[in-house]
Structure 1
Amino acid sequence: MIFDSHAHYDSEQFDIDRDELLGSVLPQKGVVAVINMAADYESLKKTVALCEKYDYIYGAVGIHPECANDLPDNWLSDVEALLSHPKIVAVGEIGLDYHWEDECPREKQKEVLIAQLELAKKHDLPVVIHDREAHGDMMDILRKYKPKGVVHCFSGSAELAQETVKLGMYIGLGGVVTFKNARHSVEVAKTIPLDRLLTETDAPYMAPVPFRGKRCDSSMIPYDAAKIAEVRGITAQEVLETACENACRLFGITLPSAAK
């Protein structure tokens, strides 16, 4: 019952074995669904192609804040055109990333983010939010636009997580929760309502212990689930099953009965 709510299988790190990994390895290891995230303009159509090739892969299309500069004039209409695809279930990965503000100024990031939030609202779709070193501005924007969706790879405090949940959003947790210095992530994992938790990888990045530093893939999520289960006093299977139910509810996905 592994549902990976955030991965980048169009990344070049998977070029060497993508077909084998997605075609057989991951399904055999219990991966029942993946949301592949577009990030830059080129990855929009790559994400759609993956959705069409593999039954259990769904997609989100959007522009990552690091890639918000130098977009073609028609970028927003190109994103919108893909939202009618039956397997595109969200607008993402979008957000703010002030760690990379040299790549794209803050005001430009906000402009591109807000345009995509409005697009998601127009089409009644959830958003997948990237928030790095921008908690204050991001929360101001989320309070104003009130999207449905998830803040992925949540890096804020437990208090900020609770405020995010009160806005109606979900919290995405991945490999970071297993890191030795992940005090905030562990506290978030312990205290958020279980019905607001999503499991994710950010593959090929953020592999959990004991794979830290290696290429990440969706089959590693049980290591995250085990850590979350430990701090909550429940079983890892309960974490996996509940996170899968949460993701299906958020993204409007009905899994085949054989996958349940």
Structure 2
Amino acid sequence: MIIDTHCHIYNSEMENAKEIIKEAQKNDICLILNGTDPKSNKEILELSSKYDNVYGALGYFYTLADEISDEEIDLLDSQLNNDKIIAVGEIGLDYYHTKENKDSQKELFEKMLDLAEKHKLPVIVHSRKASQDTYDILKNHNAVGSLHSYQGSAEMAREFVKLGFYIGIGGTITYKNSKKIRKAVNQVGISHILIETDSPYLPPEDKRGENNTPLNLKYIIEELAEELDIKEEKIIEITTENAKKLFKV
């Protein structure tokens, strides 16, 4: 089994979501679908109840920081009481797209972490151009989880690992300008890495211009094997065990 620890395979993102899920199932790929808003969270609950190879992470993304209501927080709180929901995510900070609402982004992130602590769930964290603030907030919470599609420095990756986090590696490691990611991978080692696709986004180099799917995990596995000089079978074995340990799947 291979575990795609971060993807967005539901109808509001992909019209052929059910076909993609079935194809992954045929190829022994387990999926962790990540929600970002009330609509996607609802879709994930429905899909995870229907397919054995689908688990869910529910959360509210930074894009909702200025508009989320207390009622929606309460709704998410109740939705997390589900055996197929194994994490709170996708949550976090993004200063690349906007720096104007840093305070409200942080406030929402804190609320999501509080829910994770309440439900004793790991978190799946988005952090773009916000590594220090992400770290400062996480170190003040009793949280473990994954740094999704990691783009920070190797030095910061080591610090996140010390907090109990894994580094999520996706298709961007296959890009020609991925030196920073490769350095982080070498610094933390395979014992602290998870693999993901972020489908339908961030396809590997050979699939640029196409919708990404979990079947493209093979390109990430190949790249990690070459970079770390480890056999592909071992990459699959260790990253799968990492995911099982973190998410209890």
Within 1, Cα distance between the matches of 2:139 and 2:69?
29
Superposed CA offset, 1:128-162 (max 9, x none)? 10001111111111121141111110101111111
Amino acid across the alignment from 2:193: L
One of 124, 129, 133 as aligned partner of 1:128: 124
- 8 Å contact kept, 1:206–1:213: no
* Segment of structure 1 superposing worse, 175-184 or 63-72: 63-72
* Segment of structure 1 superposing worse, 184-193 or 128-137: 184-193
Amino acid across the alignment from 1:196: H
Deviation at 1:11, TM superposition (A): 4.9
Q: Could you state the TM-score of these two structures normalised by the residue count of structure 1?
A: 0.92
Deviation at 1:13, TM superposition (A): 4.3
SS of the residue corresponding to residue 38 of structure 2 reads: coil
User: Match for residue 4 of structure 1?
Assistant: 4
- 1:69-108 equivalences under 5 Å are 69-101=66-98, 105-108=101-104
User: Match for residue 258 of structure 1?
Assistant: none
User: Match for residue 216 of structure 1?
Assistant: 212
User: Match for residue 256 of structure 1?
Assistant: none
Amino acid across the alignment from 1:173: I
- 8 Å contact kept, 1:2–1:219: no
Within 2, Cα distance between the matches of 1:191 and 1:230?
15
Unaligned runs of 5+ in 1: 254-260
One of 236, 240, 243 as aligned partner of 1:244: 240
One of 25, 29, 38 as aligned partner of 2:27: 29
Within 1, Cα distance between the matches of 2:11 and 2:221?
24
Superposed CA offset, 1:210-254 (max 9, x none)? 00221001110110111111111111121112111111110111x
One of 185, 188, 199 as aligned partner of 1:192: 188
Superposed CA offset, 1:86-113 (max 9, x none)? 10000110000112326x7111110010
SS of the residue corresponding to residue 227 of structure 1 reads: helix
User: Match for residue 51 of structure 1?
Assistant: 48
SS of the residue corresponding to residue 139 of structure 2 reads: helix
Deviation at 1:120, TM superposition (A): 0.6
One of 64, 69, 77 as aligned partner of 1:67: 64
Amino acid across the alignment from 2:172: V
Q: Which runs of 4+ in 1 moved over 3 A?
A: none
Q: Could you state the TM-score of these two structures normalised by the residue count of structure 2?
A: 0.96
Superposed CA offset, 1:163-221 (max 9, x none)? 11011111100000000001111112222132211000111000012002210011101
Within 2, Cα distance between the matches of 1:136 and 1:211?
32
Within 2, Cα distance between the matches of 1:115 and 1:249?
25
Amino acid across the alignment from 1:86: D
Amino acid across the alignment from 1:28: K
User: Match for residue 144 of structure 1?
Assistant: 140
1:19 and 2:15 equivalent?
Answer: no
Within 1, Cα distance between the matches of 2:166 and 2:194?
7
Deviation at 1:21, TM superposition (A): 2.0
Unaligned runs of 5+ in 2: none
Within 2, Cα distance between the matches of 1:249 and 1:70?
35
Amino acid across the alignment from 1:12: S
User: Match for residue 201 of structure 2?
Assistant: 205
